[in-house]
Amino acid sequence: MSARAFNLPNLISLLRLAAVPVVGWLILHQRWEAACWLFLAAAVSDGIDGFLARWLKQMTPLGAALDSVADKALGLVTLVMLTLEQAIPMWVTLAILVRDTIIVLGAASYRGLAGHIEIHPTWLGKTHMAAEFTMLALVLGGLAGLLALEGWLEPLFTAVFVIAVVSGVQYVWIWSAKARRERTAAQLKRP
């Protein structure tokens, strides 16, 4: 891993992070087409920065953190703003927010118990992120008049809801098992 923190992949992550308030502002002012295209560019940049970091051998702890923060910020701001605009139902938004809150609190609790944490996204967790970002892009595209989504929104919202709930349950299951193993290992080490 390169120790050089200022590199092209990290710059792309920073640009994605900088796009977050702009996407929020565009949604607030109902500039749907601009919001849609900027959101799509930011979402695509997520794949680009990861690819470049691996290809150029420029993976850094800062880059991993920036990538995660930029992804979460982009998804959260877009989700909340579209919910406030009543373009996404509250029940979908709450499922996503509860899932993410449980994961963050669970990870913090585990770190407190074990003193360390290594997070590896599951296939279902990655599916959730893809489904969430796809939903956000499609809703923005629909609001921009770029897509006709009549009849597709309810099944889309239901699918994202189900994936969020199942993914959240999976993370609770996995991290609970890890916490039990850590607790058992700690008890065995005591004299």
Q: Are residues 93 and 134 in the same domain?
A: yes
What is the rounded CA–CA span in Å between residue 104 and residue 98? Answer: 10
Q: What is the pLDDT of residue 114?
A: 64
Q: Are residues 62 and 115 in the same domain?
A: no
Q: Are residues 115 and 38 in the same domain?
A: no
Last residue of a domain, one of 44, 71, 98: 71
Domain-embedded: residue 140: yes
Domain that holds residue 149: 87-191
Domain-embedded: residue 33: yes
Domain-embedded: residue 77: no
Q: Are residues 46 and 133 in the same domain?
A: no
Alpha helices in 30-152 (DSSP H): 32-55, 61-84, 90-114, 123-143
**Residue 125: both structure tokens together:** 């967790």
Is the Cα dihedral 98, 104, 105, 107 positive or negative?
A: positive
- The answer to whether 164 touches 128, Cβ cutoff 8 Å, is yes
Last residue of a domain, one of 17, 44, 71: 71
* Band (1; pLDDT cuts 50, 70, 90): very low
What is the rounded CA–CA span in Å between residue 19 and residue 35? Answer: 10
The tens digit of pLDDT for each residue in 140-187 reads 999 999 999 889 999 999 999 999 999 999 988 988 888 788 778 777
List % helix, strand, coil for the chain (3-state, nearest 5): 80, 0, 20
Domain-embedded: residue 53: yes
Domain-embedded: residue 78: no
Domain-embedded: residue 171: yes
Q: Are residues 103 and 143 in the same domain?
A: yes
Q: Are residues 8 and 98 in the same domain?
A: no
Domain total for the chain? 2
**Residue 115: both structure tokens together:** 């003193």
Q: Are residues 62 and 102 in the same domain?
A: no
Domain-embedded: residue 79: no
From the list 92, 2, 105, the residue with the least C-alpha distance to 56 is: 2
What are the E-state strand segments in the chain?
Answer: none
The tens digit of pLDDT for each residue in 6-32 reads 889 899 999 999 999 999 999 999 999
Domain-embedded: residue 127: yes
What is the rounded CA–CA span in Å between residue 94 and residue 91? Answer: 5
